[in-house]
Structure 1
Amino acid sequence: MNGEAIELRGVSKTFGRVRALDDLNLSLRAGELTALLGPNGAGKTTAIGLMLGLLRPTAGTVRVLGRDPRDSRTRTEVGAMPQESALPTALKVREAVTLFARMYPAPLPVEEALALADLLPLADRRAGALSGGQARRLAFALAAVGNPAVLYLDEPTTGMDAGSRQAFWAAAERMKEAGKTILLTTHYLEEAERTADRVVVMNAGRLLADGTPEQLRARIATARVRFTSDLVLAELRHLPGVEAAEVDARGHATLTTRTPEALVTALVQSGLPFSELEVTRASLEDAFMSLTASPQAVPA
């Protein structure tokens, strides 16, 4: 599928006097993994509720796969892994996945869905006996078994150990390679930075930024250069490209710059003594904190 998988045009949503979304315009391209980020109360849950057809917009239009998200055909092409899942605890894992598969017109084979979620060793265990991380993997299998064109993942790796997280993201990558459109919400920004093709940042019901992780990091365009030295603050500030400089009581210097390569080159060529050099570029978390601290930010 090409083009836009999800479109919100001029969407507002109010709950009494509370405006959860305010003239939101957002398009999600088919076949991409998009991370939807924002602080608590940003409007992410409301936006996803509209995309799932669980809510109706107060104003504007919502389209999923070109149709109303409440359309019965649309629902059969959408999978959702909510943050809190009411699992069929009395059923075994394989039984639960089989039950959900029967609700869709062209599901994945049950064994394939179990393998995708790394659940084959747990297939005969009751869902109610799973650990927190295992239950999240079952929620993923239930969302994926319908072979959806669009998949919503809400805080998917909460409660998973490191191995399960790695297996989960490998499975998500395989689904994306198969042409699935994936919308992710997460508080683990390093996961979003590593996996997302595109990042959308919301706050107060509005769109703040939209771009690749690299584009969002570039908006603050800074790096930190750290090293240990006997240089005084005045000397550090005269190095090329330094925007800010700090030195602690132990001689650990931290310099902020937009041109770390030029700064490090000048430092080496100066012949001034230093050690323990470390260069850290701006992360997605740095960009996120900067954006959400500035309500007047506008989309890229």
Structure 2
Amino acid sequence: MTDGICGGRVVAVTGAGRGLGRAHALAFAAEGARVVVNDLGVGLDGTPGGAGSPAEEVAAEIRAAGGEAAVHAGDIATADGAATLVATALETFGRLDALVNNAGFLRDRMLVNLDEDDWDAVMRVHLKGHFLPLKHAAAHWRAEAKAGRTVAARVVNTSSGAGLLGSVGQGNYSAAKAGILGLTVVAAAEMGRYGVQVNAIAPAARTRMTEEAFAQTMAAPEEGGFDAMAPENVSPLVVWLGSDASAGVTGRVFEAEAGRITVMEGWRPGPTADKGARWSPREAGEAAQKLLAEAEPPGAVYGAS
């Protein structure tokens, strides 16, 4: 399987045993990529899962279809796990061209009921689990560039509508996913000189993390037709972002849902008032009220009544 827009490229996908990660891994392989399939096989809340390895199953699917895949079962939220993810690609396939950061789980609670452990665990897998693989992959690509070898590397990070707008009952998840957006734009700015492009997606799809919380929205159609919430709908954009064909696209955030792709425009200055001197609290409040009346209203937080 060398034909396709990712022919000859090597891609590592974290959390690739199920859901979006599995769909991404299979889609990359279908476009000619050799894939490192990472998954710990944990439960929905990050606790140890049952028997069997979902990463092995996905790798077997890729091989059965004529592709090449390697399995990485390390914890990418540790320095060793992130380093061995990169090492697995290099030792097995001799190179690494793209990294898709996708691994994650949920521990949903209202803020007043959210334990510190649940906050730390979600921050760890989502935010630290993006930072460490990105750091180790970027160090490899920087070394390649400094050695005079051409680098056309791609990173695709996974945020969420919860990171863009917030989501009731998901303060930990929303904060982590918002942090991924900040990490994305910084990494894009820092790594561009070495031939590395970094973008993020905010997908909506049916996965273990969404099929119960948003059961009605995520349900598959009963009598065929377009399955709008299938995770496979998100993967084509991810594959394109991971390919040579996306040259010049970096530091951007895309929403991907069903058949819709949206470029997000992020925080931009809106209405402004400048007194040229210090405001009094009363004056500042009056100015703020006038500016708010001129400003676009924010999007609704998911789950807000």
Q: Select the structure of larger CA radius of gyration.
A: 1
- Relative to the length of structure 1, the TM-score reads 0.34
Query: Whose helix proportion is higher, 1 or 2?
Result: 2
